[in-house]
Structure formats: C-alpha cells, structure tokens
Chains A and B, each alone.
Chain A
C-alpha cells in the first residue's frame, strides 16, 4: 500500500510532464485562408476607427474573401491582404511580410502631391549657412533676431525640455517663434510633451482618448482626458506667439501636437490640413509569421471633434510652390513671421 502511493504519484508527475501537448492546441495552419481570416477578424475586433473611416468591414470581407484559396502564392495573398487593409486608408495600418510592406498608398500620394514645403528653399534661404541643430531641431533667428525659426522634421528625434529651453535662451530678442512641422510624419509622444513643457500650463485639458475594450466596433473605454504637462523645472513659460506650420505631410504624433495647440492661447496653426493619424497603433503576428499594425485608440480634440482624417489649420494658407521655385521664398514662413511681428496671436 505504501509503495502504491509513491508509484501512483510518480506516474502522475511523469504523465503530467507531457500534458501541455494535450492542453495546448496546435498552432493555426499557415495557409492562405487561415491567414486572411485571422487578419480580417483581428481588425474586425480590435481596429478602433471603422466609423471615422466609413468602411463596411463585412462588405470588404465579402468582396475579397473569394479571391483567397489554399495553395495561392505568398505574393498573391499579400496583395489581397494589402488591398483589404488599404480600404481603411489609414497611415497607421500596415502589413509586414519579409519581402514587402503594405501602406495606405492613397495617403502617401496625397502627402507628396500636396507637399507643403520646399526643403531647398527652406534650408538655403531661411535656415541659411551656419544654422544650429539641437535635439533634432534645426534653428536660426529670422527678421533681425526677432523671430526664432525651428524646423523639426520628426518627432522620432529626441528633444528634451532642457534642450528646447536652451534653444529659446539662445535668442534673447525674440518676439515669437515659428515651429515648422511640415513633413513631420510623427514619432514619440514623449517629444510632443517635452516641447509643451515649456508652454504656459495651468492644468488645462489637451484632448481625451479611449481604447478598444471589446470586440464590437463601438466597444471602448470611457474617454479619459489628458492634461497639459507641468512646466519644466526652473523654467518660465514661453508666452510669446508660436506659429506652428503644418501640411499634409504631418501625421500621427504631429497631428496630436496640432490638436494640443487648441489648449494654448499663444499657439496657432498655419498651413494645410494634416493627414491625421491620432489613433495609437498596436501590432501582432499572423499565423504565417507576417505582422500587422493597426490603431486601437481614438482621440477627441478639445472641441469635441475627432480629427483622425486630418487636423485643419487655424489659418489655411496653401504653400506657393511657384513662389518658392522662382523667387526662393516660402510664403508660409514669411506669413508666419509677419503674423508674429504685426498681429500677434491674441
């Protein structure tokens, strides 16, 4: 009887050691139909912007699913899946295979066809020779030192409050600042906040956001407000006018920065509508090892609107490419300087 217990327990232990084979089901097969269905379902349940994008996801499935069959080539499957994701026209939606990456092509064509900046003109005639570069920001003084011009090409380039403060302190005669974000495709929200840490804060709300909480298209957590960050320590806020230049090339974190300007009295948007992209993306794998990216949050500006498809400027001013190419002038920078020197923002 005594041996019986030990033998039984040992058998149980040894048997259990292989139990995960019975308990853990096999991976989904990496076939084309399984992969397509998995991708469609993931987006159906987790994508946060169907209503804003005006897409009937079931209809998309009905139209594309017949094109998927077992044994189809990886290239063909990629093309069908990319077409499906392309209907969302969302710059935060991608499909990554080892051999290709899908994009929201129509969005990208719009970036370039309506590009709001001529970099040659900006560099040669505004930044000029000997401009400074600090924390991803190229900067110089314009209008006899009265206007600080900063070109910030990507929120992926880290800028700290101390570096930003150093830039401002380098130009003691300032009457205002032109923050040129044209073509800035986004990056880290931390850098958005780092810049705002030098702007006047009284705890005002910047925007509110929510995140998907269940599989239904309208299943979200309640809206949660985000407030202006506290001023960086030992800093007096920059209360002079700030004109932020935006265009169709602005996306993601840059659009977030754009809606944040609503909360500051001394900031103003000038240029063209951004390309939006306010939903924050998550990522995952498919049964065949490809990866997808999709937004799972949505953001509401201070005025209660969802600018996922683009943040409009306070002053709409299309870029004059002809002027740039014939006279080497950037009408947005000129207008921003003029606005600061002659009007102020309030």
Chain B
C-alpha cells in the first residue's frame, strides 16, 4: 500500500516536472526568501491572552513554470519572540514554525500582460511554542498537515511582475496537545520520547487557514529576479469542535525574494 502511494506521488509530482523541462518556455528558479513578520497567537490550553511578537522568516523554494503549469516546492520557517504586559507582569514566549510544501497550478488565462493560475498546495506546518514560566506546560507542539486551494493573478509591467495570491484551506489534519495540556506526562519513565506526546490528540478540520500575498518582482536580464511581497497568514481551530482547546495565530510578513534562474530561458 505504501509502495503504491509513493509511486503515485512520484508520478504525480515528477511527471509534470519532466514534461515541463521539455517545454521550450520552461523556466526554473531557486528562490531565497527572507523578511520579518508581526505575529500574534492565542492558545486557550494555557492562556486566554493573545501574545504578540516579532518573527524572522527565512525560506527557500524551487519553482518551475511553463506556459501551462507552475510548480513550487518550498521550505519556509519563521521563529520569533512574543510577549504581553499585564500590570506588573510581563509574559514572554518563543515560537518556531517550519513548513514544507508543494504546490501545482494550471494556467487559466494568459495574454501579453495578464496571467491567472489556479491550483492546489499540500503542506505540513510544525508549530513549536515555548514559555518557560509554564512548568510542565512550557513546551507545546502542533502539527498541521494541510490541503489548500490556491489562486494567483499576475500582471506584467515592463520588467516588473505584480502578483496577488489567495490560498484557502480545504482540509487540515491537526496534531495538538490533548485536554489536560501537559508536555511531561509521567510515562516518560518507560519511553521519554514517545510519552512527551502521549496525551496529544489528532483531529481533522475544514477551512482552518488562509494565506494571502501581494507583491512585485523585478526580472533581471540574466533571468534572475528580485522581489518584495506582503504576506498574511491565519490559522485557527475554530472551525472544528474536535479541538480540545482553541488555538489561532496570524502573522503579517514583509518578505524579500531573490530568484536564481536555473535554466537559460529568461522571463
């Protein structure tokens, strides 16, 4: 069964890429991303309060595109410090959120200036939160395996390419702390690693995240490109009753992009 699944995934992902490489209009870019974000989150398992903070957001991706299809494999992460002040108490926490994903888009419309893409993205977001003042609840992990529908519109203006993107989540498989919310259940004794997650729970949710992006990219003569964009992401467990505790986060990021052309074709 696993072999069948792996074969299917390989065919699904590699065949279009191979096909793309044969297409004379194919261009391939290695993209480096970096920037800063303002993030906020609330995890009702340990606090009814909203944390706010600053995040750094580096990432790398590989994009392949021809006149019909566009593909992207990406590895993004952000990490930051959050805090809030209440009276004389200052609450501080830290977080990191690596994400791996793959997206595929079909070109729906194109002319000399306009292109519209519609596709899907699968990704996996691993969420780590740490607040040292919370004893056995100091560390909280969350894993979100997600499937999204993703649309993008591009407008070419001389060497500039403007884009706007909207990604809406269809299905998420969540893995989060259970009702008791504790990261140190005493089964650590027989197996410390496994039992850190012993009381965690898995559940599915629909439409639990959104992602928007607007930006501009400048295409250089040699096929490389530089760009800037504003990204907003939102994640919530409000859309499912199965979540033991409400969790939601949002961030606003200003990102800079460097794209290195891996093919001769210029855009």
Q: Which residues of A are interface residues toward B (Cβ below 8 A)? A: 2, 5-6, 9-10, 12-14, 16-17, 19-20, 23-24, 27-28, 30, 38, 46, 48, 74, 97-99, 189-190, 192-193, 206, 209, 211-215, 219, 221, 224, 226-227, 229, 256, 280-291, 293, 296-297, 299
Q: From residue A195, how far is it (CB to closest CB) to chain B in Å?
A: 12
Decide if B185 touches A285 in the complex (CB within 8 Å). no
Check A23/B91 contact, CB under 8 A, given A285-B49, A297-B182. Answer: no
Q: Provide a sorted-by-A list of 30 A–B residue pairs whose CB atoms are within 8 angstroms.
A: A5-B114, A9-B151, A13-B164, A19-B234, A23-B234, A23-B248, A24-B42, A24-B236, A27-B42, A27-B48, A46-B181, A48-B180, A99-B88, A189-B186, A190-B188, A209-B187, A211-B185, A213-B178, A227-B189, A282-B134, A282-B182, A283-B136, A284-B134, A284-B181, A285-B47, A286-B48, A287-B49, A289-B91, A290-B89, A296-B180
Decide if A10 touches B164 in the complex (CB within 8 Å). yes
**One of B65-73, B207-215, B216-224 at the interface:** B207-215
Task: Please pick, from A5, A16, A282, the residue contacting B136 in the complex, using a CB distance under 8 A.
Answer: A282
Q: Which residue in chain A gives the minimum CB-CB distance to B152?
A: A9
Binary CB contact string for chain B from 127 to 146 against chain A (1 if under 8 A, 0 otherwise): 00000011111000000000
Which residues from chain B contact A209 at a C-beta distance below 8 Å?
Answer: 185-187
Binary CB contact string for chain B from 173 to 205 against chain A (1 if under 8 A, 0 otherwise): 000001111101111111000000011000000
What is the size, in residues, of chain B's interface with A at 8 Å between Cβ atoms?
55
Which residues from chain B contact A19 at a C-beta distance below 8 Å?
Answer: 210, 232, 234
Q: From residue A14, how far is it (CB to closest CB) to chain B in Å?
A: 7
Which residues from chain B contact A256 at a C-beta distance below 8 Å?
Answer: 186
Q: How far is the CA of A265 from the CA of B103 in the complex (A)?
A: 61
- Does chain A have a CB within 8 A of B46? yes
Task: Please pick, from B133, B134, B166, the residue contacting A9 in the complex, using a CB distance under 8 A.
Answer: B166
Decide if B238 touches A23 in the complex (CB within 8 Å). yes
- Does chain A have a CB within 8 A of B250? yes
Interface hub of B88, B164, B232, B238 (most chain A Cβ within 10 A): B164
Q: How far is the CA of A95 from the CA of B136 in the complex (A)?
A: 15
Q: Which residue in chain B gives the minimum CB-CB distance to A35?
A: B48
Q: Which residues of B are interface residues toward A (Cβ below 8 A)? A: 40, 42, 45-50, 84, 86-89, 91, 109, 111, 114, 116, 133-137, 151, 153, 155, 164-166, 178-182, 184-190, 198-199, 210, 212-214, 230, 232, 234, 236, 238, 248, 250, 252
Which residues from chain B contact A297 at a C-beta distance below 8 Å?
Answer: 180, 182, 185-186
Which residues from chain B contact A46 at a C-beta distance below 8 Å?
Answer: 179-181
Decide if A98 touches B87 in the complex (CB within 8 Å). yes
Which residues from chain A contact B46 at a C-beta distance below 8 Å?
Answer: 282-285
Q: From residue B59, how far is it (CB to closest CB) to chain A in Å?
A: 19
Which residues from chain A contact B187 at a C-beta distance below 8 Å?
Answer: 209, 224, 226
Task: Please pick, from B49, B137, B189, the residue contacting A189 in the complex, using a CB distance under 8 A.
Answer: B189
Decide if B49 touches A6 in the complex (CB within 8 Å). no
Decide if B212 touches A12 in the complex (CB within 8 Å). yes
Check A2/B89 contact, CB under 8 A, given A17-B252, A27-B48. Answer: no
Q: How far is the CA of A38 from the CA of B232 in the complex (A)?
A: 32
Decide if B137 touches A24 in the complex (CB within 8 Å). no
Q: How far is the CA of A282 from the CA of B88 in the complex (A)?
A: 23
Which residues from chain A contact B48 at a C-beta distance below 8 Å?
Answer: 27-28, 38, 285-287
Decide if A296 touches B210 in the complex (CB within 8 Å). no
Which residues from chain B contact A23 at a C-beta distance below 8 Å?
Answer: 234, 236, 238, 248, 250
Which residues from chain A contact B166 at a C-beta distance below 8 Å?
Answer: 9, 12-13, 16
Q: From residue A266, how far is it (CB to closest CB) to chain B in Å?
A: 20
Decide if A189 touches B250 in the complex (CB within 8 Å). no
Q: From residue A28, how far is it (CB to closest CB) to chain B in Å?
A: 5
Decide if B49 touches A282 in the complex (CB within 8 Å). no
Q: Which residue in chain B gives the minimum CB-CB distance to A296?
A: B180
Decide if B153 touches A189 in the complex (CB within 8 Å). no
Interface hub of B179, B185, B189 (most chain A Cβ within 10 A): B189
Decide if A282 touches B188 in the complex (CB within 8 Å). no
Decide if B180 touches A229 in the complex (CB within 8 Å). no
Q: How far is the CA of A26 from the CA of B113 in the complex (A)?
A: 43
Decide if B180 touches A6 in the complex (CB within 8 Å). no
Which residues from chain A contact B155 at a C-beta distance below 8 Å?
Answer: 6
Which residues from chain B contact A2 at a C-beta distance below 8 Å?
Answer: 109, 111, 114
Check A211/B180 contact, CB under 8 A, given A98-B88, A206-B189, A285-B46. Answer: yes
Which residues from chain B contact A286 at a C-beta distance below 8 Å?
Answer: 48
Which residues from chain B contact A6 at a C-beta distance below 8 Å?
Answer: 114, 153, 155, 164
Q: From residue A212, how far is it (CB to closest CB) to chain B in Å?
A: 4
Decide if A5 touches B116 in the complex (CB within 8 Å). yes
Decide if A284 touches B47 in the complex (CB within 8 Å). yes
Check A296/B181 contact, CB under 8 A, given A9-B151, A189-B186, A211-B199. Answer: yes
Q: Which residue in chain B gives the minimum CB-CB distance to A6?
A: B153
Q: Which residue in chain A gives the minimum CB-CB distance to B136?
A: A282
